[in-house]
Chain A
Amino acid sequence: MKTYLLPSVKITIILLVILSGLYPLVIAGIGKFTPGHGDGETIEYKGRVVGYANEGQKFTKDKYFWSRPSAANYQADAGVGSNKGPSNADYLKDVKARIDTFLKHNPDVKREEIPAELVTASGSGLDPDLSPAGAKVQVPRVAKVRDIPAAQVYKLIDDNTEQPLLGLFGPPKVNVLKLNVALEELKK
């Protein structure tokens, strides 16, 4: 054992310098040239930073598109999923309550039109996106509150929909923060 202890200590030291010291510094240097300069990409509205493009945030007012339910209440320093199992009776009660709340705020929507993502919590608690269907089902409410034609809002969703990667891979999605900023910027 003793024969190996000294080389162990020394190799640990030099590997710490290379792997934990230099390597992330080099990546941080390269990160300076990325869109967010390595700090995370932010989104501005009226000259004020209103959030990070990749991090979902809470929207509960009727004039905004709502984000998905979050077990973390969108606290971006404590992301967490609900970890509720699919057969958990209490959990199913919560989902039912969310459906009822949604129907109350969206009286024009039929129950079977509600996509599950709007009443189930995301994995990170910070999901920044909705599916196009998840956004479109909220249009009647948003259009009514803002008193703008629904067609205009549908178009806004289409404009803000990110198609699958190369048109081939993965689901389409809509970034809720970007969509709501675009909504605010809409000229009446």
Chain B
Amino acid sequence: MNTEYIGIVFMYLATIALAIPLGKYIAKVFKGEKTWLGFMAPLEKLIFKFSGIDPNREMNWKQHLKALLTVNLLWLFYAFFCLLFQGHLPLNPDNNPNQTPDLAFNTALSFVTNTNLQDYSGESGATYYTQLFVFMFLHFVSAATGIAAMMVVFKAMKDKITDKLGNFWDFLVKSITRLLLPISFVIAVILAFNGTPTSYKGKDTVITLQGDTVHVSRGPAAAMIAIKQAGTNGGGWFGVNSAHPFENPNYLTNIVENISIILISISLVFALGYYLNKKKLAWVIFGVMTVGFLIMIFPSVSAEVNGNPAIAHLGISQPGGSMEGKEVRFGPAASAYWGITTTVTSNGSVNAMHDSMMPVSGMAQMFDMMINAFYGGVGVGYLNFYIFMIIAVFISGLMVGRTPEFMGRKIEAREMKIASLIALLHPFLILVGTAIATYVLVHFSNAGWATKPSAWLNNPGFHGFSEMLYQYTSSSANNGSGYGGLTANNIFWNVSTGLVIFLGRFLPIIGPVAIAGILANKKFVPESAGTLKTDTATFGIMIFAVIIIVAALSFFPALTLGPIAEHFSIK
């Protein structure tokens, strides 16, 4: 068991050790300074030339959003139609069928928004074409979209009045060529040498040692698995994601994949410090995020390692902790650690089935997604945190009775309205979604649909409620992990979570970019003795308090009905 603890401590320390230099590097890339990946420049030139784009043409925040939304809309339609007709497209050696319209709707939205809810299973519900040319493509560009939006906010935080906030295409392309693609390449090679398939061959048929006939799904998976981890996407090649022995073959690949879940999200915080030359502020943000992260790690790891009391009552031993839904090669500690890292970021890949984890873990995972800003998704995690900072500044300002200022700009009614709406959107989508689903389940349990609501849940009681709550939480947080027991591939769930995913992605991008753009146009007020310092521990505590009050408390009643009640009911 000791080696399991050492394993997770190592993963975290290695992540931080890599994130600091990577953050410095990212800041250099976006400042336009020279980096050792300068050899990518001709490729970038080619991309811009082919696309007829001048990467040096500066945009204001509205132009940024227009470009972002236009290209995302295009990807949405492209993905939808590919999925609808995937059976007829090339690269389909296993002859998998088309997706139904409601499934294609959900899947397309899910991947465009970096969510990857996956109501299908990769082995039977997708083709090599859609895996590579839809899902993996969107893995790259949806992560790059998040980073591009974040860069607008970074630029706007500089201390001069400006509406020139860089070029969206430039941010998008450089995020890919200088960051996502090189990192994915390294991860993919490591995976390939540890047993993840890379070839384009279809299923193999094998007669096992005992004499059973099995069909073995394969495919060029390593390339995709790399970016699904690094881009906080989470949508895997195989249905069971990184629990699959091809997708995550051993403890080494588990370390690599788990580090890459949170690496870029953390390094972007340090990038902020280097980019704006406000390293103290970056450490305050990192500190708040890390405290939130650690508070969730300990109970989850301890619950999984100690095992399921209900199993203990059956009289057997649990030397490996709670093993339902887990893999022997990872063990309970690394499974719990992954569960937290994948939910604090908006990754959503899994190396164990969350549905079978202990209620304490389930609560921690849902809580992470409800906050959605402890590290958060690449780019967008910081945008969520930015909203909390704005609110914290405003409340602090009210408490001491002066006009709130953030980074030298006055925060006024318009910005606060946007920030409040965005902060309230997340609880609204999750709680209303869950309430409607619960209502339908109770009052129309035998409705004559293809999947009757009474057949939705895989578990009774409190845990069943958690399955629904988790699904909407994961959708709104653009996380994409799920309680796999929920029968989600039907019109009700495909459509309702699809809508939640869509609103939960684009409004929280538009909001912070708008606030930052408006603030950047305001008069710059130099720091004085009366300025609220944002790079202090005091302000860090203030942000933390705002997060707990605004986010956590709105979800507490729902969590009580699900995981908390279940925890106290297990004897």
Contact = CB atoms under 8 A, between A and B. Distances in A.
Contacts of B218: 39-40
B324 A120 contact: yes
A52 to B, nearest CB: 6
A27 to B, nearest CB: 4
A129 to B, nearest CB: 4
Interface in A133-185: 133-134, 164-165, 167-173, 177, 180-181, 184
Nearest to B48: A11
Given A116-B311, A119-B316, A170 B328 contact: no
Interface residues of A, number: 108
A118 B522 CA distance: 65
B67 interface: yes
Nearest 7 A-B pairs (CB), nearest first? A31-B198, A83-B485, A170-B251, A123-B243, A85-B463, A81-B353, A38-B198
Interface string B363-399: 0000000000000000000000000000000000000
A45 B51 contact: no
Interface residues of B, number: 124
Interface in B189-215: 189, 192-193, 195, 197-201, 203-204, 206-210, 212, 214-215
B188 interface: yes
B52 interface: yes
A7 B169 contact: yes
Contacts of A4: 66-67, 70-71
Contact of B246 (A28, A54, A133): A54
Interface in B519-554: none
Interface in A74-117: 74-89, 91-92, 95-96, 99, 111-117
Contacts of B95: none
B459 A117 contact: no
B356 A86 contact: yes
A172 B216 CA distance: 26
A82 B325 contact: yes
25 contacts: A1-B70, A8-B70, A8-B71, A10-B52, A11-B51, A11-B71, A21-B133, A24-B136, A34-B198, A38-B197, A39-B197, A48-B207, A58-B208, A61-B210, A77-B94, A81-B353, A86-B311, A89-B460, A92-B310, A92-B314, A115-B318, A123-B356, A127-B328, A169-B7, A180-B209
B124 A124 contact: no
Contacts of A130: 328
